[in-house]
Amino acid sequence: MTSIATLQRVNRFLLEKQHLVPHAKSESVERIVQDVVGLHATVATTPYLSLFARSAGFEKDQLDEALYDRSSFAKVRCVRTTIYVHARSNLPTVYAATASLTRDASRNYMLRRGIDETTFKRLSQTVLGLLDDEDRSAAEMRRALDTDLDLSALLYHMCDLGLLLRRRPLRSWRDRSFRYGRFDKYYPDVDLHSISEEKALAELVRQYLAGFGPLLEEDIYWWFGLPRAKVRRALDSLKGETEAIEIDGLEGTHIILRERRGQLERPGAGSKEIVNFLPMLDSYLMGYQARQRYLDPRYTQYVFDRSGNATATILLDGKIIGVWDFEQGNPSQMKLFLFEKMPSSAHEKVSAHAARTGAFIAGDDIELRFCASMTPLPQRTAGGFMRPLKDR
């Protein structure tokens, strides 16, 4: 028989699994990356801020060391052709489950940009040779190759084939430009073809259910971005491990791993008024197609743009209550836009979290500025979600 859970309990359960309550924060970045099924990394700063929100005493060099010194993690394109930070041990599963999606997308783009298969074979071998001794940026390789071809399209396809990696930024953690390195140089023991697509899909669905369930079947399709038939077969293979529940206040039948059901039913520990500052495109916000669980539909226009990109948000007890933005300056500012007036105790916690988050970004003290209004994201130009309060 399908049971019913309250939305309040479900949100608290999810915050605990996502390391977003004080007692669930972890000093292990490896544990966090595993539990949230990778860190969204399309925007350079997002994985750092996602870890800052979830880890006790997190410092930026912890992620840099894991990514670039120990090679414990790697940046790879996977679900929805989006760049994520994943653990080394999970790379074969992530690659095999999503290669058909990313590989075909980058190949077709490369062909449209005028690089045919013959040219790709010739240039890709030259690129690998250039990276034998050291990592290089796209600009450095373009000069070495002396070509007018769209080298970025070629490099993206090489990354999706498991030949190259996105490595260290050129200047700082906020830099969008980076160096490329050879995959086999940094992960010589990782066989990306060691697991079949079918088994990899089933395992990645299980990981997603563990980190984000209970959820709707439609959420699974949204998160993967793969053909429904493939995901449906993977989900069917896990029927013996899943249960169906209903959530009071949400429509539809939700799916949860049977092994997690007991955790959901246990009372949540800790106090109320739990505040979180999540960065744009945080894995938690991007993990669901049905967002009513954490967002009043009246405020969707302030959180998601027309393409479904989530801006930087303020959460109170698992519900989005506002938007934040950082502006570099002298002094730097944390801008906050709250949807509604809140109790003074919660307002104080929001201000304290804003100050800590701003100091983490700037490396120094910052000023707080509360904005009275905000231009809805669908009315902004592409990329507006990255600076939601720029015009305030």
> Under 8 Å CB-to-CB from 225, ≥6 apart: which residues?
79, 80, 81, 101
Which pLDDT does position 271 carry in this prediction? Answer: 65
CATH 1.10.10 domain span(s) along the chain: 3-11+198-265
Tell me: cis bond preceding 331? Omega within 30 of 0 counts: yes
- Separation of first and last alpha carbons in the chain: 51
Ranges of residues in the chain with a pLDDT under 50 are 1
Q: Do 275 and 348 meet the contact criterion of CB atoms below 8 Å apart? A: no
> Under 8 Å CB-to-CB from 301, ≥6 apart: which residues?
376, 377, 378, 379
Which pLDDT does position 1 carry in this prediction? Answer: 47
- What's the CATH fold of domain 3-11+198-265? Arc Repressor Mutant, subunit A (1.10.10)
Q: Do 340 and 302 meet the contact criterion of CB atoms below 8 Å apart? A: no
Q: What is the DSSP letter of 75?
A: E
Cα 369 to Cα 335: distance, rounded to the nearest angstrom = 5
Which pLDDT does position 304 carry in this prediction? Answer: 97
Cα 278 to Cα 281: distance, rounded to the nearest angstrom = 8
Task: Put the strands of the sheet holding 39-40 in their side by side order.
Answer: 39-40, 83-87, 73-77
**What is the per-residue pLDDT across 62-97, written as a single tens digit (0 to 9) for each?**
999 999 999 999 999 999 999 999 999 999 999 999
Number of helices and strands in the chain (H, E) = 15, 14
Tokens found for residue 64: 């840099």
